[in-house]
Amino acid sequence: MQLYKSRSFGEFFQDTFSFLRQNGGHLYKNFFIINGIFILILMVLGYFFSNFYTEVVFGGLTNNNPNAIEDYLNQNASIVVVFVLLFVTIGLVSAIISYAFVPIYLKLYAKNEGKNFTASDIINEYKANIGNIFIYLICAILVVIPLMILAGVISFILAITMIGIILLPVVIGAVSLYYQGTLMEYIENEKSVWESFGYSWTVMSSKFWPAIGSVGLFFLMIYIVQNIVVMIPYFVFIVDMMTDINSGTAATSQEISKSASVMMIIIFVLSYLVGLVLNLIVQVNQGIVFYSLKEDIENINTKSDIDLIGSGE
């Protein structure tokens, strides 16, 4: 599928799903190969956090011990500090790898005119751009302060009315597309980081409403899907508890804590994995939008076709 292609609003959706249908297996396989070890570590840490929550927090409530958290932290301060530092460090590394994956993947996809590349090629591209990625992150933090103030004011104004609330995903989509477009352009190694920020805005503003509207709707869709999936085990837990109560079976605090622990683990795993899968879909949509708008401005594919015609004469 051609990335550099002029598209309308409807084609942003159509080509996103077409790309995933044609390349989804290759995309997700390489994503989990590269980021899999960090995902597994985070899931293990999440398991221990779920146990802490149910045994200490939830258990303290069911046993009428309001000082359960304080007592646990006093007795296990060093373990908690190590756990938090490990979780934050692994989480940040995984988040950076995940965020940069689609821009790097699409760069290689465009360069190879398809999915004719491997996880090793992606890893080499990470290595070649590791400096750019960290420079981008530092500059992104600087840009986020005024950008979040502006987005916050707009979101507050929109939240006043019912119609405005519906448009909130569009604000999120605009900010997300701006940042993603900047990284996509920066790893091309043709512009400086600040030139890439400026170029990303130039590209967005060329078809502003169709572009951010498409990304915003994708954010809304994945938010709904993720919440539906995550709420399923929660409702199963509630129904099971209500069934026990109606049948006259009184659950002990230990049984309730155990059931809550299982539910927390299931919800954490589902939420995390579903979030990863759906987030890649949104990023692919942003890539489709960005490459399309870039084609509108630079006519990259058109020039390539003209060069091919000239070389055949």
- For residue 18 the two structure tokens come to 């077409």
Q: Which DSSP category does 76 fall into?
A: S
DSSP string over 2-18: -SS----HHHHHHHHHH
What value does the CA radius of gyration of the chain take, rounded to a whole number of Å? 23
Q: Can you give the pTM of this predicted structure?
A: 0.84
pLDDT of residue 309: 47
Residues in the chain: 313
What are the tens digits of pLDDT across the range 49-73?
766 666 665 555 555 555 656 666 6
Domains in the chain: boundaries: 9-298
What are the tens digits of pLDDT across the range 284-305?
999 999 999 999 998 877 655 5
User: What are the start-end ranges of the H helices in the chain?
Assistant: 9-52, 59-62, 68-75, 77-111, 119-159, 162-166, 168-186, 193-206, 208-246, 253-298, 300-312
